[in-house]
Amino acid sequence: MKKNAVSKNKLYTLAALLVIIVLLAFLQANSAQYSYQISILERSAIYAVVAVSMNLLTGFTGLFSLGQAGFMAIGAYTVAILTIPVDSRASVYYVNGISPAIANLHCPYWLALIIAGILAAALAALIGIPVLRLKSDYLAIATLGFSEIIRAVIAAPQLDRITNGSYGLKSIPGFPNLFIAFGLPALCILLMVLLINSSYGRAFKALREDEVAAQAMGLNLFRYKELAFIISSFFTGVGGGLLAIFMRSIDSKTFSINLTYDILLIVVLGGIGSITGSVIGSFLVTAGREWLRFFDNPLVIGGFVVPLFRSGFRMVIFSILLMMVVLFYRRGIMGSNEFSWEGLGRLIRSIPSRIKRKSKAQKHPAGIPLCPESMDDSKKGDNA
């Protein structure tokens, strides 16, 4: 039975991958017609990488960090500086010119992404030494302050010839095709899943559950905290580099505190401690914000202008929907569970029984007996 179940799971997974490949091929062939939908999907995939890396730190290790925007900025600027064509740099650094140290630096996007992740991880290793001594809210405040420091340094006039200051960087080459655009995020998420399922992942979970017990088992708490922080920062830096390639132009305002809050929202909505939840949450949040844009446009019905339909109203609707989701799914959409074909099958099979229970509850509200015979028996007992 177990072998049959494993073979079915593999078959379903291969079928799902085939469907995704066919869909990407269709979108690639009709990229001009579906450019808006493609941009939503690409941004969602990139946010999924950052959300999973944040979940690796928060959900699986128990370290509450809010420095994601800072590490994303490091990765994004690294990739931008290394991939902007040399011939186009004069038009990018047109104010104060470009530093000779980086004037001729150029490498392919895949190597730039690796370098971006390494630089983000190296900086995380340095700041992790003092910061990881803190816990809970203090750690979050410290990492949030670090994120703002990084953004201020990037926009500083002293670094205009490297980061181009407040003018930002443009002419960044985009993804060659959709298979690269979605394959790289999928590869990053797969590597993090393998890490979580390894012995290191089990050590991270032990730290999350009980630090005292983990230390009694011989785990070096600071070492594993530092390791989780470095790995999470590496993939966050790679996610920032992917965002730069997607946007093709960046500036320091792109990596404000709001970006960290968006990633945190995705993690909480999807489920803290669930990789699948982070991926689903990234697509729901990103697509939900875009598909609700019609609420920002004025609505006229029979000559009457609906007053609520104006710029910014979509965020009100979006917030209400988020509140409803949180009320019904307090631990997020997936909680701490992961997607499985068996779980999906159980969910589909349980839908008819849930509908029947709801219909019975509507026909027989609370306080009204379900059996007329029981009413007759009670009356007989009273008469006796």
Cα(333)–Cα(181) distance, integer angstroms? 26
Percent of the chain with pLDDT over 90: 40
Contact of 189 with 49, CB cutoff 8 Å: yes
Question: DSSP secondary-structure letter at 306?
Answer: E
Percent of the chain with pLDDT over 70: 87
Q: Letter for the amino acid at 245?
A: I
Query: How confident is the model over 285-310, as a mean pLDDT?
Result: 73
Query: How confident is the model over 108-125, as a mean pLDDT?
Result: 95
Q: Report whether pLDDT(384) > 50.
A: no
Q: How far are the Cα atoms of 269, 275, 306, 331 from residue 327, in angstroms, in the given order?
A: 11, 21, 29, 9
Tell me what pLDDT residue 193 has. Answer: 93
27-85 tens-digit pLDDT = 999 988 999 999 999 999 999 999 999 999 988 988 888 999 999 999 999 999 999 99
Contact of 120 with 241, CB cutoff 8 Å: no
Mean pLDDT of the chain: 84
Cα(344)–Cα(340) distance, integer angstroms? 6
Q: Are strands 299-301 and 304-306 parallel, antiparallel or unpaired?
A: antiparallel
Contact of 343 with 337, CB cutoff 8 Å: yes
Q: Letter for the amino acid at 355?
A: I
Position of tokens 């500086």?
A: 81
Cα(195)–Cα(188) distance, integer angstroms? 11
Q: Report whether pLDDT(346) > 90.
A: no
The angle that helices 2-29 and 341-363 make with each other, rounded to 10 degrees, is: 90
Q: How many residues does the chain have?
A: 384
Comparison of pLDDT for 117 and 324, the residue scoring more: 117
Cα(225)–Cα(207) distance, integer angstroms? 8
Residue ranges per structural domain of the chain: 44-256
Taking phi first (over 0 means left), then psi (-120 to 50 degrees means alpha), and beta for anything else, what does residue 131 get?
alpha
Cα(176)–Cα(89) distance, integer angstroms? 20
Tell me what pLDDT residue 356 has. Answer: 72
Residue 282 CB neighbour total at 10 angstroms: 28
126-155 tens-digit pLDDT = 999 998 888 778 888 999 999 999 999 998
Q: Residue 1 class from Cβ within 10 Å (0-12 exposed, 13-18 middle, 19+ buried)?
A: exposed
